[in-house]
Amino acid sequence: MNILLTGGAGYIGSHICYTLLDLGYSVSTIDNLSTGNKNLIPKEVNHINADISDVQTVTSLIKNNKFDVVIHLAAFTRVGESVKHPEKYFSNNFDKAKIFIDTCLNNGLKKFIFSSTGSVYGNLDSNINIKENEATNPINPYSKSKLKFENYLINETIKKKAFCTILRYFNVAGADLKKRTGLISNPDNLIKAVCEVAIKKRENLVINGNDYKTKDGTPIRDFIHILDLVDIHVIVAKSLIKTGENQIYNCGYGRGFSIMDVVSEMSSIIGYNLPIKFGERRKGDAVYSVADNSKFLKKFSWKPKYNNLKIILESALNWEKSLYQK
């Protein structure tokens, strides 16, 4: 299997690169390193330092390779930043992505996996796990840009007799167990912040709001280990090559943890109470965001390997420690 991947220098992309190589597959990645880190890309990966909207470079890459599947990850992903700079997010996550996909389709590529987000569903009133057929109602520019591109990709692949699978990620966390890659920086990422407090890089964890209508007043999230998420990509890529169909799948475990649950688990791991303080709610945050993943489980008889909050936090913490041992 030969994969064309955008965003290979990022958190999720670098994990996908390592796993694909571990499985004996070939990988080329386009990443302009605007938010990614070149050191996260395995040396065996063919890295092209370019923008995904660079038609000439993308065309040349496609013509010189025989790619089976395109995995499109490259995007800006920080909710808080998207609220402040919405035009930046629509330009990158939709306009440039549109140019990239058009270039791929115009050069004969037919099978695509798109990295979307569970936040396209918006802020639902009920504490019910979210199915793929739930109405979408994104509440911040980041998720709006993702949904806009979802719709474009689906329409274009149908018109061109191509196929795409949309993967709606919930809260991706954890790190490679061999500590080869992990999350370098993201001020919006809860698990990253928790780990930084645990190793005393930060003084305390600021929790944005403790007045939500949940068991302890903090938002509920569905945390999926990065390695299980990568496994989903591999399964979907193989399926696209074999059959080819347009699908949308939620990527989560179907179990929610509050922010305070995460704090409590990390406190247990490190042996003392993680220092916290409460701040104001963050605009654009949902109260309850937990996937109904039954569609994917039924389709592929999938069994996650790392569905455990302790494993997620320990792997993230080990990676964080390794950053300061290098």
Q: What is the CATH number of the domain that holds 135?
A: 3.40.50.720
Same domain, 153 and 273: no
The answer to whether residue 180 is domain-embedded is no
Same domain, 156 and 215: no
CA 159 to chain centre: 27
pLDDT at 125: 65
pLDDT at 325: 73
10-residue mean pLDDT profile of the chain (326 residues): values are 97 98 98 95 97 98 97 92 94 97 98 96 84 94 97 96 97 97 86 96 94 93 98 97 93 97 98 96 82 97 97 98 82
**Prediction pTM value:** 0.95
- The helix (H) or strand (E) run that includes residue 276 is strand 276-279
Same domain, 132 and 117: yes
Same domain, 97 and 154: yes
**Lookup: tokens for 117:** 């987000």
Number of structural domains in the chain: 2
pLDDT at 104: 98
Domain assignment of residue 271, given as a range: 190-221+255-290+307-321
pLDDT at 244: 84
DSSP state of 44: T
The answer to whether residue 46 is domain-embedded is yes
The answer to whether residue 141 is domain-embedded is yes
pLDDT at 238: 97
Q: Give the contacts of 23 (CB within 8 A, at least 6 positions apart).
A: 234
Catalytic residues: 142
Q: Give the contacts of 114 (CB within 8 A, at least 6 positions apart).
A: 72, 149, 150, 153, 164, 165, 166, 167
The answer to whether residue 295 is domain-embedded is no
pLDDT at 80: 81
Strand order in the sheet with 2-6: 46-48, 26-30, 2-6, 69-72, 111-117, 163-169, 247-251
The answer to whether residue 183 is domain-embedded is no
pLDDT at 127: 82
